[in-house]
Chains A and B, each alone.
Chain A
Amino acid sequence: MLRVQLLGELEVHVDGAVVAPPSSRRAWSLLAWLALHPGEHGRGGVAARFWPDVLDSSARASLRSALWELRRAVGADGGLHGGRERIALACTTDLEAFEAHVAAGRLEAAVALQRGPLLADLDDDWVLEARDEQAERLGSVYARLAAAAATPAEAAAWARRRLTLDPLDEEAARELMRRLAADGDRVGAVAAYDRLSDRLREGLGLAPSAQTRTLAATLREAEAPGGPRADEPPLIGRDADLAALAGVWEWVRAGHGAVAVLGGEGGIGKTRLAAELIARAHAGNATVARCSAVDLGGAPPFAPWIELLAALARGLDAPPADSWWPEELGRLSPSLPRRLGRPRAAPVDVPAELARARLFEATVELTEHASATRPLVLVFDDAHLADAPTLELAAYVARRIAELPVLMVLTRRMTPRRDEVDALTNTARTRGVQVCELELQPLTRTELEALIGSVRMLDTATRERVIAAADGNPLLALESARATANGDSGPPASLRSATRAAIAGLGGPARRAAELAAVAGRPLDRLELSALTSPDAVLEAMDCGLLSSTDGRFGFRHDLLREAVVADLEDTRRATHHEALGRALRASPAEAARHLRRAGRDDLAVECLLEAAAAAVRTTALVEATAYLSEAVELRPEDAASQLELADVWAQLGRRDPATAARERALARLDPLDAPGRAAVHLRAALWFRGRLCDPGGARHAAQRGIDALDTGSLTDPETRADLLLIRAWSEVTIEGSGAAERTLAELATLDVDLEHPPLRRHHLRSVEGFTLLLGGRTGAAEAALVASGEAGEAAGRADLAYGGWANAACLAIAAGELHRAMEHTARGEAITAPFPAIAFQMAGLRASVLALLGRHDDARACSDRQAELAGRLGSPRILALADHDAGLLAALAGDHERAQACLGRALAGEPQILRADARLRRAEALARTGRAEAAEAELRAAALEPIHAGHRPALLLGRMAFVQALVARARGDHELAQARLLESARHWRRLAGDDPVASEHLASLVDLGRPPIAGIVDASGELDRVAEELRGLEALADAR
């Protein structure tokens, strides 16, 4: 048994005996990395991580050699497992035990395991990052221990231990100050502040943040907390706005969700007003997390959320052990799951559109978790600058907070116009979330006088000039007043001249530090600063009055000031700063790329753009990824790999034309004799066509081109050939019928390939077999194959593929009249799709229909409600309309015609992917059955004008149309005509009664509507029964007369 101790210096034990480190330091580090990242890892990725500066083949060779050394150190049975492509280390670690203790609430036992900083004897970059994260987690455990301490003295002791982890951590310092004060040691608390202040000045050239200074002032003067901050002017002229926000805050404290949007021009006081709200929230024991958008075209997707969630995760209790969402947040930032105590697992592997929904759900779950015991405030500063995915996620969360004590605050300028913000508030409102939109107005002359008077004593003439220049803008007034009071002859003509005057007084390095902070477009943290400038320069820059520091981040007091400094920079100097930032901010490749391009360093920007694209794909921001890749391709058009990456992302977005065009460009750049390379490109294309693009014709063409490439190069490569043949078989069964597919499957069987492994291949094989059997009329065997495809999809960890297997199997069971077996299949499908609203939605619809067919209409209704709830989460009007459509069909089956016509009416008002003519006829039937003959007739007339596509089988509509005409005639009391229409309908159904529509309808539904037939395949003999029942009803009526 291999045991690895990571908390402190690295120690390795095999069966209790200490293992001596191998001679290679890299091999020892590799072992630590594998222990810290359990599970299987691709050799290529690990090799690239540890040997990044050499060719892939050399890196793999170095990896082999390191693994050989490690095996020698830990023994052949020491837990190191390696295959051709993947490696893993089976071991236990003290970090794992630490996490288990934390999760179980055994906090003291957890901290007792910490022998020192994580991997204290290693200094690789990844170690430093992991060490910081562990320190953060440990700090959070100390904070929890302090909060739970029996006495104030004990609490102070825990707080002190927390601060020792990072003596520059202002939040930890503030906690110690508060704990000491609570213990009656006000002097000790102020001394703790003084020590922090010294350390920040000496170490980083920063002053403590306003929040910390305010706390110190409070302790010194014993003032009540929550008063005006030390360096902020009082809030003047905003009483009405503040009253409105106070109302919103009370609503949130009572347990409800709200969104507050603070709009207005730059400098009008949005941030100041938000600060006031935050102060109240803090006083009300709320959790507050804040983020701001970066003022840099092409900023990284989700950057504000990453900042926000990292801040939030720091102070949270550990999530419940069975929660799935922490891992998913790793898509946004790999460190987030670690911060939440989940360093182990990776997000599940599913296509991007499902991954995005799951990521969004995970964020909602985090929001629920964070607001479980106290109110939560999420602040998005400068939402007008936010990237589209950030606002999309914000809207998704906003829709779900109606019953949570969560306040989402967005500050925005009115230009550039961002319709996404308006859409967010509109949707939130419709979901019962209180929305407060304030557009801050310029201050009146009296208010400006009061504001200026509160910060500077100016003579009357100067004050008048300042007021006139400010034009109601408080920031302009304050900056003018400040500049004037600092010795300028009069108020500056503009903010730009005010900032120029302030900057002019700085020495060279300090001026450069200030300008870098301006050009960066956001506050810089201490690691970033250390790569750019010196602490002394930062310290001096602070003296100009334009800059401030908050929790170790250095930036401008207001974005308008920053913008003014940037606008005043000479082009060459600005470009120099962009290049410095581009080189220093490599941890954020999208930002680095943007800076490098602005510096004119396209040669350096390309790699950053490719990295940014990879990161964007990981976060599911595919549109943004295409933008980065398109830029990279433009800068380096000869690179086939980048073109192919771009093609891949377009395909994931469902954009066939640009994907195909990029693929062709990639092929044109490949050597015509590079048969393996060309086959690989065609295989990738064939995979898109089978997957996201769902284009059997395209799949067949691409697969055949791949096979031809292999043949041209006389390559056997059975693995690639097998994958290509499988895709060709899939397209053949979809387009041509079973014959061609059977021949391809036979060819596949001749290859020297294990078709049962991996499970992904098994899934696809069983699917093709299932459909081939179905087309051959062997529905029982087809169902069994589709069950096996569902199981293989599960084994592959692909919920989306497993869903297909279970849903198709359930439909075939329904068609066979085996409703209980259909229930079993849908249960399996429900279990695997539960975390993915988009496919869980489809599964719920299918299950509801099985329940309805079983006559369990109450259960069906519950399932239908669940489907509607999932549609609400997804928020797309098309999905909502689809849920209404399915609910309408179920209501009709249950005999609830009023609900049926209402639901179908709503569905038809939208644009769901349904058979519209059929939906209209079903609604017309419901209307006729509730006695509304005119409305029913109008609906059936409208049905005749709906689009009819190939798979819609107009023959079914003929029977249904005549049937509805009969019901209309009966509703009008014309029984003779009703009888004639029923006989006409019966003629149509009788003609179809001999058909076996299962295969054709099933495939038509999959191809046309993208899902199996939800309410079951139309059964002509069942329809004939319905006609007969109506005829009997008419006869009974006639007899009664």
Chain B
Amino acid sequence: MPTLDDSTTTLAPVEEVWKLLYDPSRMSEWWAGIRSVERGGRGGTGDITLFADHDPEFPMPQALHADGDGRRLTISCLANHLVFEWHLEVLDPGTRIAVHVEIPEREAHRLDDQRASVSASLRALATLAAEAAATDGPRERG
């Protein structure tokens, strides 16, 4: 099964990244190619449903769960069976955001597309978190 790993860093504190990562309503702000998010799965399965830019009518239910020690957020797409495992690490200062993606064989031909999409999403998430932190930063120590 093809996999890919990517990571980035941001000056934003970990709680800012955490709030974005665990808030499905904001996923469309950083997840590349995602237009909107609905709470709850479609057809009785999944925890949220994503709708992509390229096919905004097609629901993609996702299951969210914690893996291993519970410190990794796993988002499994119940439509195409891609699995995204997100992990946060505290830096001084800032946060490292890492993602591990498992791609089923039948989606292997989209590996390069996925790599680009994941990279864009990571960086968007980092930027968004940094913006939230920067908005607060100057006043925090004031």
Contact = CB atoms under 8 A, between A and B. Distances in A.
Contact of B25 (A944, A946, A974, A991): A991
Interface in A729-768: none
A949 B15 CA distance: 17
A941 interface: yes
Contacts of B15: 940-941, 943-944, 961, 965
Contacts of B65: 949-950
A955 B39 CA distance: 11
B110 interface: no
A75 to B, nearest CB: 66
Contact of A954 (B22, B69, B142): B22
Contacts of A840: none
A945 B141 CA distance: 24
Given A947-B70, A950-B65, A961 B19 contact: yes
Nearest to B142: A974
Contacts of A943: 15
Given A947-B69, A948-B73, A950-B66, A941 B140 contact: no
B13 interface: yes
Given A958-B23, A961-B19, A974-B139, A944 B66 contact: no
A947 B71 CA distance: 4
Main secondary structure of the interface of A (DSSP, over half): helix
B23 A974 contact: no
Given A940-B15, A958-B19, A962-B19, A945 B142 contact: no
Given A945-B71, A962-B19, A977 B136 contact: yes
Interface in A274-323: none
A976 interface: yes
Main secondary structure of the interface of B (DSSP, over half): mixed
Interface string A989-1026: 00100000000000000000000000000000000000
Contacts of A976: 139
Interface string B112-142: 0000000000000000000000001001111
A957 interface: yes
Contacts, number: 62
Contacts of B90: 941, 945
A279 to B, nearest CB: 58
Contacts of A944: 14-15, 17-18, 88
B24 to A, nearest CB: 8
Interface residues of B, number: 22
Nearest to B24: A955
B88 A945 contact: yes
B19 A949 contact: no
Contacts of B141: 972
A969 interface: yes
Contact of B22 (A941, A948, A950): A948
Q: What's the interface size class on A, roughly?
A: 20 to 34
A955 B69 CA distance: 20
Contacts of B71: 945-948
A916 B69 CA distance: 13
Interface in B40-92: 65-66, 69-71, 73, 88, 90
B140 A977 contact: yes
A884 B57 CA distance: 50
A958 B90 CA distance: 19
A765 to B, nearest CB: 27
B140 A948 contact: no
B140 A972 contact: yes
Interface string A947-981: 11110101101100110010001001110110010
Contacts of A940: 15
A256 B99 CA distance: 60
Q: Name which of B15, B71, B136 has the most chain A CB atoms within 10 A of its CB.
A: B15
Given A948-B66, A977-B139, A957 B88 contact: no
Nearest to A943: B15
A378 B71 CA distance: 49
A974 B141 CA distance: 9
A80 B36 CA distance: 76
Contacts of A948: 22, 66, 70-71, 73
Given A946-B71, A949-B70, A950-B66, A941 B14 contact: yes
Nearest to A950: B65
Contacts of A941: 13-15, 90
A416 to B, nearest CB: 36
Nearest to A947: B70
A962 B19 CA distance: 9
Contacts of A950: 65-66
Contact of A949 (B14, B17, B66, B142): B66
Given A948-B22, A972-B142, 14 more contacts: A944-B18, A945-B90, A946-B71, A947-B66, A947-B71, A949-B65, A949-B66, A957-B22, A969-B139, A973-B142, A974-B142, A976-B139, A977-B140, A988-B23
Interface of A: 940-941, 943-950, 952, 954-955, 957-958, 961-962, 965, 969, 972-974, 976-977, 980, 988, 991
5 contacts: A944-B88, A948-B66, A961-B15, A961-B19, A969-B136
Q: Enumerate the 10 nearest inter-chain pairs by beta-carbon distance, A residue then B residue, closest first.
A: A947-B70, A944-B18, A954-B22, A944-B15, A944-B14, A974-B139, A949-B66, A948-B66, A977-B139, A949-B70
